[in-house]
Amino acid sequence: GTGLGLGRPVAVLVSLLVVGTLAGLAQSVLLARLAEGIVLQARRDLVSRFLLARLEQVQRFRAGKLVTRVTSDTLLLREATTSSLVQLVNASVSLVGSVALMAVLDWQLLLTTLLALVVGGGLFGALVPQIGRADKRAQDAVGQLGAELEGGVRALRTVKSSRAEQRQIARVSERAEESARHAVRSAWFSALVWSVAGGGMQLAVIVILGLGAGRVALGELSVSTLVAFLLYAFNIVDPVATLAEAVATLQSGFAAAARIRETTSLEPESPQVGSPRAARAGAAGEAVRRPVDADAPVLALRGVTAGYADAQAPALHDVSLEVPRTGHVALVGPSGAGKTTVLSLLLRFIDPVSGRLELDGVPYESLSLDEVRGRIAYVEQETPVVPGTVRDNVLFRVPEASDDEAWAALAAVRLEGKVRSLEAGLDASVAETSLSGGERQRLAVARALVQPSGGAAAR
Ligand SMILES: Nc1ncnc2c1ncn2[C@@H]1O[C@H](COP(=O)(O)OP(=O)(O)OP(=O)(O)O)[C@@H](O)[C@H]1O
Ligand SMILES: [Mg+2]
């Protein structure tokens, strides 16, 4: 009967529906995976670029700005790289298809349409870079907001004790307002682009109708061709508008990409004579195994002049210094004399302008960063804690060391009792705020006391 006759087409329709739904699902998931893959890769690249770069270059950026590069700029990249790329392709295909069909129908009307497209394209080309510029400014302001906020929270005790909360709030809010202002500007331009593209195409349809009607009256064009042509012309309004939107979104993505690209000026530290692996096996390894000249001082500065790029006079001028193999050396001088600068040189955070440094009589140029830094335990002046647990902090230089070594180091700085009193012991997480200033300093000393077993430090 009729029920059986309908069963088949209905089954076909249902299976098409299922297939279509699954395909749509797969497309969304694949797109999302692609987008997140791009974001992930960009974030990984940025994080390793920041941590591997030379100290002075990273310090030129404010911490909050680096954070927004990694967290928010990468998100803009996602928008641009996926949905708008798909839109771009889809819209281009239907645009080209419609235009080809219109060419078959009537050349003169097609030329009118193309003229409208070119004029619209010109306006569009003028507006689109504005979107990118506004977006870049908005993101820059977000970066500054991050930096201001980070600095304010870091110095919160000072801010509160100075009763400067409102001033600080105003400073941060100002950045937020600036970002909003530029974002609205960008939205304005996007809306303009969209209206110009959509409205321009509608206008072109009206012109085609007028021209076509005239030619129909002259008998040059059949009514059916004009109607067919108009249908195709209506058909390209949508793709053109979609295309405009996609290009506008892409522009925001380019702005984000440009901000991310700015960080390529951060070069990794050099010269890295030999990777850690090469240092063990290769030529650099021989330098480590070479019997140490017992007469040579452990560390030496020979006629070293060094300074900072943005300072006029060098911080150190022709400094010579030897650190003997045994005993203690104290470096004493007024504030700003250059004591920290000497340590920065010894750890190769900065390089001397002239003169040279030696470790065991071997000039620094023939040693890798690892060989130098592996020999020196450094407690920095502003003893920050490392994010993580007590164990993470104490064993930061030698993660493979045992808990016993951690306890021994803590005992040496009289922090053992304090850590034993914590419920989680070595696993207690330490925040900047949960330790007193002195405890933080002693934790840093404990970190310096844990030595790598064997290797260079055993000598
Ligand atoms: N990153 C930097 N950029 C530019 N100039 C710097 C930088 N760090 C230090 N200076 C300058 O170099 C000089 C030496 O600074 P350094 O930090 O070595 O002094 P210091 O002897 O450790 O002083 P303090 O006892 O106060 O810690 C100072 O004039 C300082 O202003
Ligand atoms: Mg100092």
Mutate to test the pocket of ligand 1, among 316, 317, 339 (most ligand atoms within 8 A of CB): 339
CB 95 within 8 A of CB 240: yes
Q: Which ligand is nearest to the CA of 307?
A: 1
CATH architecture of 30-141+187-265: Up-down Bundle (1.20)
Residue spans of the domains in the chain: they are 30-141+187-265, 292-376, 377-459
DSSP track, 284-315:
HHHHHHSPP-TTS-SEEEEEEEE--TT-SS-S
* Residue-averaged pLDDT of the chain: 86
Residue whose CA is closest, atom 28 of ligand 1? 336
Q: What is the distance between the alpha carbons of residues 388 and 400, in angstroms, rounded to a whole number?
A: 16
Same-fold call for 30-141+187-265 versus 292-376: no
At 276, the pLDDT band (50, 70, 90 cuts) reads: very low
> Considering only CA atoms, which of 67, 311, 109 is closest in space to residue 210?
109
Exposed/middle/buried for 400, CB within 10 Å: 0-12, 13-18, 19+? exposed
Residue type, 188: W
Token pair 């930096």 is found at 147
Which atom, in ligand 1's list, is nearest to the CA of 59?
1
**Would you state the pLDDT for residue 291?**
62
Which three-class secondary structure state does DSSP give residue 319?
strand
Q: What is the distance between the alpha carbons of residues 243 and 261, in angstroms, rounded to a whole number?
A: 26
Residue 359: how many other CB atoms lie within 10 Å:
23
Say whether pLDDT at 274 is over 80.
no
What is the 162 CA–ligand 2 centroid distance (Å)? 26
CATH class label, 292-376: alpha beta
pLDDT digits (tens, 9 = 90+) for 52-105: 998 888 888 888 888 888 888 888 888 777 777 788 888 899 889 988 888 888
Mutate to test the pocket of ligand 1, among 59, 60, 304, 340 (most ligand atoms within 8 A of CB): 340
Residues flanking ligand 1, CB < 6 Å: 308, 310-311, 315, 333, 335-341, 381
> Considering only CA atoms, which of 291, 308, 387, 393 is closest in space to residue 345?
308
Which tokens go with 376? 């020196």
Q: What is the distance between the alpha carbons of residues 259 and 141, in angstroms, rounded to a whole number?
A: 12
CATH number of 377-459: 3.40.50.300
Helices (H), 413-455: 416-421, 437-449
- Mean pLDDT within 157-161: 94
Q: Which residues contact 261 (CB under 8 A, 6 or more apart)?
A: none
Torsion, Cα 387 390 396 402, to 10 degrees, reads -150
